[in-house]
């Protein structure tokens, strides 16, 4: 069986979403998955005029309940761990950022499982 490196250090997105006390209680595997999830679970794209016709799963909101407007979202450094996003078992979910043309696509659990297995097989996070 090949050696699989698992990152023990939480990345900046994970650290932004969890307190030091919460991270201290997590296993190495949990932190590794959160590192993977934060960088791979969503795609933020400019859908142009099509954004208005995409079936939206829900309103984009922070875990603290605040609704987010388009200008306040850093599209380039989007952190899915800070938001109430639904990861559905076998289908993608979609959120539009305010009334903008930006759409957040959240991959399905099934797709994330496949990608996470590949991620681990390839040595996890690259340092």
pLDDT (0 to 100) of residue 28: 94
| CA nearest to 87, candidates 70, 111, 68, 55 | 111
C-alpha to C-alpha distance for 7 and 111, rounded to whole angstroms: 21
Q: What pLDDT tens digit does each residue of the chain (127 aa) get?
A: 444 444 479 999 999 999 999 999 999 999 999 999 999 999 999 888 888 788 887 777 788 777 665 556 787 888 999 988 999 999 999 988 877 888 899 999 999 999 999 999 988 765 4
pTM (two decimals): 0.81
pLDDT (0 to 100) of residue 3: 42
Cβ-contact 84, 98 below 8 angstroms = no
| CA nearest to 84, candidates 56, 61, 101 | 61
C-alpha to C-alpha distance for 60 and 69, rounded to whole angstroms: 8
pLDDT (0 to 100) of residue 18: 93
| CA nearest to 98, candidates 59, 44, 62, 49 | 59
Q: How many CB atoms neighbour CB 89 within 10 A?
A: 7
CA triplet 108, 87, 10: central angle to 5 degrees? 100
């Amino acid at each position: 069986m090949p050696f699989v490196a698992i990152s023990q250090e939480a990345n900046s997105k994970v650290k932004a979403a969890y307190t030091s006390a919460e991270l201290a209680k997590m296993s190495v595997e949990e932190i590794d998955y959160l590192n993977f999830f934060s960088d791979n679970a969503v795609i933020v794209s400019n859908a142009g005029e099509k954004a208005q016709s995409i079936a939206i799963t829900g309103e984009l909101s922070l875990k603290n309940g605040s609704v987010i407007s388009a200008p306040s979202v850093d599209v380039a450094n989007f952190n899915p761990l800070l938001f109430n996003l639904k990861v559905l078992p076998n289908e993608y979910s979609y959120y539009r950022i305010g009334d903008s043309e930006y759409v957040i696509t959240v991959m399905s659990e099934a797709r994330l499982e496949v990608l996470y297995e590949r991620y681990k097989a390839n040595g996890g996070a690259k340092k």
